[in-house]
A and B are shown apart, each in its own frame.
Chain A
Amino acid sequence: MTILATAPSPGFDAPGVEDFNLPPIFGDVTKPVLQFVLAAVLVWAFFTITARRPQLVPGKAQFLGESFHGIVRNAIARDNIGHDYLKYVPYLTTLFAFILVNNLFGIIPLIQFPSFSHPGMAYALAAMSWLIYNAIGIRKHGFGGYLRVSTWPAGVPWWVRIILTPIEFLSNIILRPVTLSLRLFGNMFAGHLLLLVFILGGEYMLLHSESLVVNLLSPFAFAMGIVFTFFEAFIQVVQAYVFTILTASYIGTVLADDH
């Protein structure tokens, strides 16, 4: 980054990985560190306000909180976990709200940086979900039983098992947290990069290009930037939802009696 800064190349520098390597605000505190704390505070405030003195007939705030909680409770937890789903609703709701707010930071003015475009916390949340569903599975079936449920599908000939069991083990035990975290990270990373390309590109076209035609074309770049901002909003919600629903689905799978 320093090298690039000291040797400015002529023409447009396409935004890249270096744009995600923001300088720390102080010490080891990077921008996402503050965003995670801010997101936690916002989510806490949202649920605390909406759940204060709940009424049978909800007011607007309570309705909002109940709707959010109800989506995770009924559409995600109940449909994917089934019996005994209530135990996991608090974790799933917190997960969904926390990821959602951090994702939306990517398009909220003045913040405009999706926290999960740094992969650290995506790893951490994926690891947490991995620990949780493995722990649930082991507690329900015992260690051997859980391994059998996860890697030994019923009604398969022995020669298929030679291939199938390693694949099942790999996909169910090893790769799930990897895909879970990389999917979230990759989407946020790519989405932010996309917006950078359009906005910084538009800025370059408007301010730094010597060609008048290119100057005049710059609004199209900004317009595309706005279009993709809406698209990003959609992606951010979907990714938060996907992370949560996959976690719920993994829990539901290990709780199922016959896989």
Chain B
Amino acid sequence: MTTQITILAAEELNPLVPHWSEIIVGTIAFILLFLVLRRTAFPQFERIYAERTDKIEGGLKRAEEAQEHAQALKQQYEDQLAGLRAEAARIRDDARAEGQQIKAELRAEAEAEAARIRQRGEEQISAAREQAVRELRGEIGGLSVQLAERIVGESLADPARRSATVDSFLAELDQLAPRREQATPAGGAS
């Protein structure tokens, strides 16, 4: 009797024997959980993973593009800068050449002016000397006649003789100072 009950109890207590209620309820709970999560939560996670990946990769690509753009801009600016530098140098050279030219022109002009002034001065000087010579000659003629009248005491009324005397005198003078040949007759300038 007791052994029979013990055997019954042992059979009942076999831990490998499942409870059917647990299998049924547990399986339903698990499958429901699986179906619900497959529709709701898990797609959300997958969506956000994909979005994140896209964002990161897209960001990297955009950064690359921005860098390329910046590189191009830099190149452009450098080219422009080089052009500007060359132009500035050219302008400077032009200005220097022009300055040189202006200086040369001014110098030439000044030299010409100076030459003109000198020439005019020389002309004036020579004119003044001529005039002086002319005046001197007339005066000397008169003075000589007076002196000769006084010395000789005779009237030199005869114009022909007087003239010949004066001319010979003057010729003598010219020989003493042969600067310029003088053929002008004294006339009655005294």
Q: Measuring CB to CB, which residues of chain A are less than 8 angstroms from any residue of chain B?
A: 1-3, 17-18, 20-21, 27-30, 32-33, 36-37, 39-40, 43-44, 47-48, 50-52, 54-56, 58, 62, 65-66, 69-70, 73, 86, 89-91, 93-94, 98, 115, 118-121, 123-125, 128, 185, 189
Interface stretch of the complex, out of B34-42, B102-110, B115-123, B166-174: B34-42
Which residue in B15, B33, B34, B55 is a CB contact (below 8 Å) of A20?
Answer: B15
Given contacts A32-B19, A54-B45, A94-B30, contact A37 B25 (CB under 8 A): yes
What separation, in Å, do the CA atoms of A28 and B30 have in the docked complex?
19
Chain B, 1-19, CB within 8 A of any chain A CB:
2, 5-6, 9, 12-19
What A residues does B45 contact at CB under 8 A? 51, 54, 65-66, 69-70, 73
Which residue in A50, A70, A118 is a CB contact (below 8 Å) of B19?
Answer: A118
Say yes or no: is B161 at the interface (Cβ < 8 Å to chain A).
Answer: no
What A residues does B33 contact at CB under 8 A? 40, 43-44, 94, 98
Q: Measuring CB to CB, which residues of chain B are less than 8 angstroms from any residue of chain A?
A: 2, 5-6, 9, 12-23, 25-27, 29-30, 32-34, 36-38, 40-42, 44-49, 51-52, 55
Which residue in A2, A36, A62, A69 is a CB contact (below 8 Å) of B22?
Answer: A36
What A residues does B9 contact at CB under 8 A? 1-3
What separation, in Å, do the CA atoms of A256 and B2 have in the docked complex?
57
Q: Is the CB of A120 within 8 A of B44?
A: no
Q: Is the CB of B25 within 8 A of A51?
A: no
What B residues does A98 contact at CB under 8 A? 30, 33
What B residues does A33 contact at CB under 8 A? 19, 21-22, 25-26
What separation, in Å, do the CA atoms of A29 and B22 have in the docked complex?
8
Smallest Cβ distance from A258 to chain B, in angstroms?
30
Q: Is the CB of B22 within 8 A of A30?
A: yes
5 A-B residue pairs with Cβ-Cβ distance under 8 Å, sorted by A, are A30-B21, A37-B29, A40-B29, A54-B44, A128-B30
Smallest Cβ distance from A128 to chain B, in angstroms?
8
Given contacts A66-B45, A119-B15, contact A51 B40 (CB under 8 A): yes
Q: Which of B12, B18, B22, B46 has the most CB of A within 10 A?
A: B22
Q: Is the CB of B36 within 8 A of A44?
A: yes
Q: Is the CB of A121 within 8 A of B23?
A: yes
Which residue in B14, B36, B48 is a CB contact (below 8 Å) of A66?
Answer: B48
What B residues does A2 contact at CB under 8 A? 9
Given contacts A3-B5, A47-B37, A65-B41, contact A28 B21 (CB under 8 A): yes
Q: Is the CB of B25 within 8 A of A36?
A: yes
